[in-house]
């Protein structure tokens, strides 16, 4: 029944956001995801590319869990962790969780008058996790414990996270004028955390580039098929591959946006030739600069 109810509710939710944002001349888009979409590299890259495209077009993506197909085994289970995972996916600098309380407290402020709000948290400790308890809001799944889990996910990937009250009007603007909140500070930044993650993966193959492409990569550009001279291995879309220079020296690693078979077919091809070779438009970059660690 809950999945059937979600099928009805998703349409109404998307319509509500569409109407509200249209007042300001903003277009809304609906993106439904499941836990499997973040666990599978290929799906992860597809979601990331879609969200980046929507944001680049000035559209506001409304991301929600696809409750119509998600089961207990393959679901986020709460919007806190979903929000953190989406932030990590797009390399966001900040995640804001709107709650029924204005931050993280030493105990439940609704029952303990002596509860103290943390203004800034540099590291989440076991004691804090114990303080979070198992409280559940009447309007949502999860509680302060899931918010701490979300904060762990976000900060580990270089993204700050804020918990603040959502009942007040304009809560995001309120943060700029000093509204009460708790800030969980990130460790590093999203770009460095992502590149470290990519560099730590086991490569499933390799692409060799010419001298011109090697120089361009050094300037921070994406790797285009035109600069590729050879492809080795049997990798799929989203798999990690080594990037080799003309002399075979390893320049770095990256996540391929094409399979090995597709990449071989595109060796030396320019972007305007991709559709003719593959039979579908494809993407200009074989490895996008954001998916590369040199």
Please state the separation of Cα 188 from the chain's center in Å: 16
Summary mean pLDDT of the chain: 89
> What letter would DSSP give residue 145?
H
Beta bridge partners of 121: 184
Q: Which of 131-135, 137-141, 172-176, 181-185 has the lowest mean pLDDT?
A: 137-141
For the cut 70, the answer to whether the pLDDT of residue 169 exceeds it is yes
pLDDT digits (tens, 9 = 90+) for 101-124: 999 999 888 888 899 999 999 999
Q: Which pLDDT score is estimated for 172?
A: 95
pLDDT one-digit tens code per residue, 219-244:
999 999 999 999 999 999 989 999 99
Tell me the C-alpha distance between 210 and 247, whole Å: 9
The predicted structure's pLDDT at residue 188: 78
Amino acid 70: pLDDT: 62
Q: Work out the pLDDT band at 264, boundaries 50, 70, 90.
A: very high
Determine the Cα–Cα distance for residues 253 and 195; give it in Å rounded to an integer: 9
Report the first-to-last Cα separation within the chain, whole angstroms.
49
Predicted local confidence at residue 141, as pLDDT: 44
- Position with higher pLDDT, 85 vs 216: 216
Sign of CA dihedral 10, 32, 173, 100: positive
CA distance 274 to 157: 33
pTM: 0.72
Q: Quick one: CA torsion of 160, 166, 172, 176, rounded to 10 degrees?
A: -80
pLDDT for 266-277, tens place per residue?
Answer: 999 999 999 999
CA dist 226 and 210 (Å) reads 9
- pLDDT, residue 77, reads 62
Q: How far apart are CA 261 and CA 155, in angstroms?
A: 37
Query: Pick the residue with more confidence: 71 or 49?
Result: 49
Beta bridge partners of residue 96, listed in sequence order: 162
Most confident segment among 41-45, 84-88, 196-200: 84-88
Domains parsed from the chain with CATH numbers: 1-75 (no CATH), 92-189 (3.40.1160.10), 201-293 (2.30.130.10)
pLDDT at 136 over 80: no
Q: What is d(CA 258, CA 204) in angstroms, rounded to the nearest whole number?
A: 13
Q: Which of helix, strand or coil describes residue 274?
A: helix
Q: How many residues does the chain have?
A: 294
Residue 140 has pLDDT above 50, yes or no: no
Task: Judge contact between 122 and 186, C-beta under 8 A.
Answer: no
> Measured between alpha carbons, how far is residue 185 from residues 151, 251, 275 in Å?
9, 32, 44
The confidence score (pLDDT) of residue 216 equals: 97
């Amino acid at each position: 029944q809950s999945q059937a109810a979600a099928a009805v509710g998703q349409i109404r939710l998307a319509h509500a956001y569409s109407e509200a944002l249209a007042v300001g001349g903003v277009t809304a888009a609906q993106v439904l995801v499941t836990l499997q979409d973040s666990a599978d590299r290929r799906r992860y890259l597809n979601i990331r590319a879609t969200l980046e495209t929507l944001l680049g077009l000035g559209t506001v993506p409304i991301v929600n869990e696809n409750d119509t197909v998600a089961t207990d085994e393959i679901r986020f289970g709460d919007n806190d962790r979903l929000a953190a995972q989406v932030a990590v996916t797009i390399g966001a600098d900040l995640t804001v969780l709107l709650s029924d309380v204005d931050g993280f407290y030493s105990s439940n402020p609704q029952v303990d008058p002596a509860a103290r709000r943390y203004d800034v948290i540099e590291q989440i400790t076991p004691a804090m996790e114990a303080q979070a308890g198992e409280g559940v809001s009447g309007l949502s799944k999860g509680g302060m414990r899931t918010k701490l889990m979300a904060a762990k996910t976000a900060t580990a990937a270089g993204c700050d996270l804020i918990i603040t009250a959502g009942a007040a009007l304009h809560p995001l603007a309120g943060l700029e004028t000093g509204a009460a909140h708790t800030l969980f500070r990130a460790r590093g930044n999203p770009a460095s955390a992502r590149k470290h993650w990519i560099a730590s993966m086991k490569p499933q193959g390799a692409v060799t580039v010419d001298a011109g492409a090697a120089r361009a990569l050094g300037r921070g550009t994406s790797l285009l098929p035109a600069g590729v001279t050879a492809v080795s291995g049997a990798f799929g879309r989203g798999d990690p591959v080594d990037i080799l220079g003309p002399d075979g020296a390893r320049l770095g690693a990256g996540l391929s946006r094409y399979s090995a078979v597709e990449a071989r077919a595109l060796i030396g091809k320019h972007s305007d030739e991709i559709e003719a070779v593959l039979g579908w438009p494809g993407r200009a970059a074989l490895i996008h600069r954001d998916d590369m660690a040199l």
